Chain A
């Protein structure tokens, strides 16, 4: 059986009076693609931000490679984070830097001994993986939405992370670009043998990427299974949710 990479146990998070997640437990295995579905505001992104340590949960445990990240110091947490990639919803490219600088920024700071030639080679190789070699000297403001997502993805994988977290990787993109990004995510996952947690409400994206799906509803994991089971579910809420998604597609 494959190793467990991420284990979330009884995670609860509230913002003042609003309960966002309550006793949420998930487990992600090595090289598995887990899709986290849910309506807007159902706590998907909060779950992801708790896993990477950007938000502190009110209770529960988050284990990454058997280390409870809630018990780690910032220095220890950063050591864990070096092995994790995170693609933000808006790509979050550093807008005062070129694409080359965006990609080399993390490399320079993670690997003190790295030479300029090694950095250049790695940047070029990673841009080839996302098919955007020609954008190397462009500023983020010169890129389209889809290109930004690709560069954001390239920046996340440049340090060869074992775990990738995607926050709405296809939101705001047209269906064709959305499909391309989803296929790219799947190809990279296979090529680099990464474990992925993808937060989305995009059905095309889920169908392409998912090994397993969980559905967050009213602060809980309401459903878990594979994507086909979920789409064919007789549950009125799921039927309603996916019928809307299918119409959008």
Chain B
């Protein structure tokens, strides 16, 4: 697999930046194609996928819990006075849960996940690249792409939807706490309002797109790390550019996926 080389240095021209942009797009496309070719071929390294899923899940659980809780809390706190001003205070649980389920939960979780995991994968594989560990696998007749990249991309694709469902639940709990600080509301009533306002059709597109976001996080982090060059500076660059690129692609793909969902199911 020949990935295009980037131009580095302190004095890059606009032309160099444009070249690097297209080199990244081309490289990512080649890398994606290589993944699709290799993902379905044995050996499957299932234990390695499980290990990465556990590690990545545990690594991000704390930060997504806090983030999810605060999103729900702040959303309810901000919306409560406005909703009450228009006499729609009773719709607050439904409004908060719909926002969290359809958009905020999946996107915020994916962005946090990208910040934590994509940079980690970029740094880890980048470090393995510059210290010749990836070459060591290659000369030992072991497929490093399969062992290092395919397992990580599958793990991120599988674990992000699970984390998103967890964040949605935590955010809805956060919103409940924000509501009861201002006015009394039984948990039973809140729970019924939430369940009545969310339909299965709201839940599916929101969680389904996190499979794509997880794939992006794993693929971008692996691509940046795997193609790292230039010693420790290259490792740092792989780590930071992974986060930037993964976050950007998550937002772009969110826009595209929402458009596709509304086009396929206009009643949603």
Q: Name A residues whose Cβ lies closer than 8 Å to a Cβ of B.
A: 52-54, 78-79, 81-82, 84, 86, 88-90, 92-96, 105-106, 109-110, 159
Is the Cβ of A109 less than 8 Å from the Cβ of B142?
yes
Is the Cβ of B141 less than 8 Å from the Cβ of A110?
yes
Is the Cβ of A81 less than 8 Å from the Cβ of B133?
no
Chain B residues within an 8 Å CB radius of A92 = 131-133, 135-136
A82 vs B135: C-alpha distance when bound (angstroms): 14
Q: Can you name 9 extra interface pairs (CB under 8 A) apart from A86-B136, A88-B132, A105-B140? A: A53-B139, A81-B140, A84-B139, A90-B132, A92-B132, A93-B133, A95-B127, A96-B124, A159-B140
A84 vs B43: C-alpha distance when bound (angstroms): 22
Asked if B138 CB lies within 8 Å of chain A CBs, one says yes
Chain B residues within an 8 Å CB radius of A78 = 141
Q: Which 8 A-B pairs have the closest CB atoms?
A: A78-B141, A92-B136, A92-B132, A81-B141, A86-B139, A106-B140, A88-B132, A82-B141
Chain A residues within an 8 Å CB radius of B131 = 90, 92, 95
Chain A residues within an 8 Å CB radius of B141 = 78-79, 81-82, 109-110
Is the Cβ of B138 less than 8 Å from the Cβ of A54?
yes
A-B contact pairs, 17 of them (CB 8 A): A81-B139, A81-B140, A81-B141, A86-B139, A89-B132, A90-B131, A90-B132, A93-B133, A93-B136, A94-B137, A96-B124, A105-B142, A106-B142, A109-B43, A109-B140, A109-B142, A159-B140
Quote the shortest CB–CB distance from B149 to chain A (angstroms): 15
A181 vs B100: C-alpha distance when bound (angstroms): 61
Is the Cβ of B142 less than 8 Å from the Cβ of A54?
no
- Nearest residue (CB) in A for B138 is A54
Q: Mark B119-162, 1 if CB is under 8 A from A, else 0.
A: 00000100110011101111111100000000000000000000
- Nearest residue (CB) in A for B136 is A92
Is the Cβ of B139 less than 8 Å from the Cβ of A52?
yes
A105 vs B124: C-alpha distance when bound (angstroms): 18
Is the Cβ of A94 less than 8 Å from the Cβ of B133?
yes
- Nearest residue (CB) in B for A106 is B140
A46 vs B32: C-alpha distance when bound (angstroms): 29
A106 vs B136: C-alpha distance when bound (angstroms): 10
Chain A residues within an 8 Å CB radius of B132 = 88-90, 92
Chain A residues within an 8 Å CB radius of B140 = 81, 86, 105-106, 109, 159
A78 vs B140: C-alpha distance when bound (angstroms): 8
A98 vs B140: C-alpha distance when bound (angstroms): 18
Quote the shortest CB–CB distance from A6 to chain B (angstroms): 15
Quote the shortest CB–CB distance from B143 to chain A (angstroms): 8
Chain A residues within an 8 Å CB radius of B142 = 105-106, 109
Contact of B133 among A54, A95, A109, A110 (CB under 8 A): A95
- Nearest residue (CB) in B for A167 is B132
Chain B residues within an 8 Å CB radius of A84 = 139
Chain A residues within an 8 Å CB radius of B133 = 92-95
Quote the shortest CB–CB distance from A3 to chain B (angstroms): 22
Chain A residues within an 8 Å CB radius of B136 = 86, 88, 92-94
Chain A residues within an 8 Å CB radius of B128 = 94-95
Query: Which among B128, B135, B139 has the greatest number of chain A C-beta atoms within 10 A?
Result: B139
Chain B residues within an 8 Å CB radius of A110 = 141
Chain B residues within an 8 Å CB radius of A53 = 139
Query: Which among B133, B135, B136, B138 has the greatest number of chain A C-beta atoms within 10 A?
Result: B136
- Nearest residue (CB) in B for A74 is B143
- Nearest residue (CB) in B for A93 is B133
Quote the shortest CB–CB distance from B229 to chain A (angstroms): 13
A86 vs B133: C-alpha distance when bound (angstroms): 12
Chain B residues within an 8 Å CB radius of A89 = 132
A159 vs B142: C-alpha distance when bound (angstroms): 13
Quote the shortest CB–CB distance from B262 to chain A (angstroms): 44
- Nearest residue (CB) in A for B134 is A92
Quote the shortest CB–CB distance from A11 to chain B (angstroms): 18
- Nearest residue (CB) in B for A78 is B141
Chain B residues within an 8 Å CB radius of A54 = 135, 138-139
Chain A residues within an 8 Å CB radius of B138 = 54
Chain B residues within an 8 Å CB radius of A88 = 132, 135-136
Chain B residues within an 8 Å CB radius of A94 = 128, 133, 136-137
